[in-house]
Amino acid sequence: MQKWKNYKKAIELYEKLINLYPNSAEAYSNLGNIYNELFQYRKAEYHLRQAIKIDPKFYNANFNLSSTLKMIGELDEAEIIINKAIFLEPKNIQ
């Protein structure tokens, strides 16, 4: 869904998925990424934090949260989170 930029439908599907599987870090992370694409950074932050709460070692959620925090001006925390992501996957520096 994300690939076709049908964000409304993708959001609905991920919300349903989260209702069915509330411990799906990937669903929360993907929903956070959609909100980032829509420039809804606070919603993105919330969903990415939920993903990390479920799976603290989820590289993509940590990396994307650092980008989100940067966009909303939370630079100190963004630096902490990006360092955590680098620690989790030092060979995956983007």
Reported as a single tens digit per residue, the pLDDT across 21-73 is 999 999 999 999 999 999 999 999 999 999 999 999 999 999 999 999 999 99
Token pair 């994307």 is found at 64
8 Å CB contact between 27 and 18: yes
Cα angle for residues 70, 81, 63 (degrees, 5° grid): 75
Rounded to whole angstroms, the Cα distance separating 88 from 56 reads 10
Q: Quick one: which of 42, 53, 62 has its CA closest to 18?
A: 53
Tokens representing 82 are 């990006």
- pLDDT confidence of 89, banded at 50, 70, 90? confident
Q: What is the pTM of this model?
A: 0.89
